[in-house]
Structure 1
Amino acid sequence: MTEPTVFAHGGHAAEGPGWLPLLPVVVLAGVYMVAAVRDQRGWDHRRTAAWLVGCALLAVAVGSPGWLPDDPRGHMAQHLLLGMLAPLGLVLGAPVTLLLRVSPSAVRRATGRLLRSRAVHLLAHPVTAALLTTGGMALVLLTPLYAVAERQPVLHHAVHLHYLAAGYLFAWSLAGPDPAPRRPGLAVRVGALIGAAAGHSVLAKYLYAHAETLPPGLTDSDPAAFRSAAHLMYYGGDLAELLLAVALFTTWYARPHRRRPAHRPSPSPSRRPMRLIKGFASEETP
């Protein structure tokens, strides 16, 4: 006998084993742990802990029914976990750096080419990532997409994947410890974070003020529940953005060029990530 997964809005998702959504999370955690053990130079346990925390938050978001309420508040909690909190933990796990350290030279070269590609540069730019994460949420709440996703499980899964991917790109573009060619300076990243936080807050307030009519297209809307969801979105988003700001300044301050003696000139900011990637790509397999 099967039970509906927690991905459902209003209980309309496709049915399947309750453990099935957890399988990708277990795979993510397991593959990372194997790679960390294989790193002959010794992988930072703090990175491993961050990754596992991110996986645990993902598990809560996609776990069996009953882990989160099946109402607008539960759906908003899923958004915060999938789109803001879990991605930060995953990003701080530095999976790309770990991949570069344990992979064969061919994989390192391919990864370096991917990181230098225009597509990655565009998608991982802080402004683009901010638009994807905040704009995606606005699209769901301000259009009939939310109501349609109630009836279309595939679309609903796609929306959640978008939350996770956009949230990861945003956290990586701001605070990722992994190498990122042509990553903008601190001012651009702080500006993108402030803009995203402002957009998130405005959207939460707008949902609260128009809970009787938003999201459009619902046949069984519960304004009180959507006001509670907007309340959670406002304050939960503030907490997530505060954590992201702490991570941003911590990783920025911890960059090697921040600790160089004053008499040693730093390499150009635009060339430093490229040099790191080229170094990984040119290494011989341990």
Structure 2
Amino acid sequence: MDHGHTLNITTGLPAIFVGIGALLITALYIAAGVRSSQHNRLKVWPWYRYVSFVLGISFATISVIGPIAAQAMNNFTMHMTSHLLLGMLAPVLLVLSAPITLLLRSLAVRQAKVVTRLLRSYPLRIISHPIIASLLNIGGLWILYTTNLYSWMHTNLLVHILVHIHIFAAGYIFTASLIYIDPVPHRFSYIYRSVILICALAAHGILSKYIYAHPPEGVSVQEAQAGGMLMYYGGDFIDLIIIIFLCYHWYKTTNPREAVA
């Protein structure tokens, strides 16, 4: 396939702009954390939140620009590596960095109320529902790899950008709908979220096996098998992080000692 139209976005001037944007976002987060800690010394912003955010932004950035992104244009295994970084690992790390909580702590009361109303709005309530978030995330992947969309994204720059935005956004919303790190106006029970997570994991695993047996358009059998295995085992490893935090929060809620504390 001719990937010349989209290869330019992973290198050169576009890559520089993306890199600068990632640095600015990271700097804003760190500045907000430091400022929040200075104004509220009793609740200093935890160091591990900074680490989680920096790693999340870094993984998201290297998945769309640089060597990994460039090789992903012609190598399905590298594409799957990029997919795992952008759609799974980076969202998990960014959710754990609690960006919404930090934003609310950094804003004036009136501005924080505006953000809170936005979080409680009907459209966000819909897309942040665990079932809808799962359909957007896993369902989007099924469409990408079982139709000609995968081939199309490598020959159309706009489609290429939109697919990557969707993969990241859907991964973030999916993670945030299952583990509550930031304030969530509409909470669902642990059992409910656990069932949704199990179904999503099953759908993701089935898709990886489907890719192994039915390569996407333009992908060789050997690359599809390698990519499918990476998606299966790599996805399970990252999903384990979500499982651990979900179970940990569940344990803290039900443990009498934690409740007293």
What is the TM-score when the length of structure 1 is the normalising length?
0.81
Q: 1:59 maps to what in 2? A: 61
Q: 1:238 maps to what in 2? A: 236
Q: 1:3 maps to what in 2? A: none
1:151 to 141, 155, 166: 155
Aligned residues: 249
- Would you say 1:28 and 2:62 are equivalent positions? no
Shift of 1:94: 0.5
Shift of 1:74: 1.0
2:144 to 140, 153, 169: 140
Shift of 1:256: 11
Q: CA–CA distance in 2 between the matches of 1:175 and 1:49? A: 19
Unaligned runs of 5+ in 2: none
Cα shift readout 1:212-271 (whole Å, capped 9, x = no counterpart): xxx23x3xx322111111111111111111111112223444569973339xxxxxxxxx
**Which has the larger helix fraction?**
2
- Would you say 1:202 and 2:206 are equivalent positions? yes
2:237 maps to a residue whose letter is L
Q: Percent identity?
A: 35
Label 1:193 to 1:90 Cα distance change in 2 as closer, same or farther (>3 A). Answer: same
8 A contact 1:9–1:149 mirrored in 2? no
2:156 maps to a residue whose letter is Q
Label 1:67 to 1:166 Cα distance change in 2 as closer, same or farther (>3 A). Answer: closer
8 A contact 1:175–1:252 mirrored in 2? no
8 A contact 2:86–2:167 mirrored in 1? yes
8 A contact 1:91–1:171 mirrored in 2? yes
- Would you say 1:112 and 2:116 are equivalent positions? yes
Cα shift readout 1:97-126 (whole Å, capped 9, x = no counterpart): 111111012210101101111111111111
Shift of 1:57: 1.2
Q: CA–CA distance in 2 between the matches of 1:133 and 1:195? A: 12
8 A contact 2:175–2:242 mirrored in 1? yes
Q: CA–CA distance in 2 between the matches of 1:182 and 1:19? A: 39
8 A contact 1:94–1:176 mirrored in 2? no
Shift of 1:20: 2.8
Alignment of 1:24-173 (within 5 A): 24-39=21-36, 40-41=39-40, 42-65=44-67, 69-70=71-72, 71-173=75-177
Shift of 1:96: 0.7
If you compute each CA radius of gyration, which structure gives the higher value, 1 or 2? 1
Label 1:11 to 1:238 Cα distance change in 2 as closer, same or farther (>3 A). Answer: farther
Calculate the aligned-residue CA RMSD, in Å: 2.2
Q: CA–CA distance in 2 between the matches of 1:26 and 1:260? A: 40
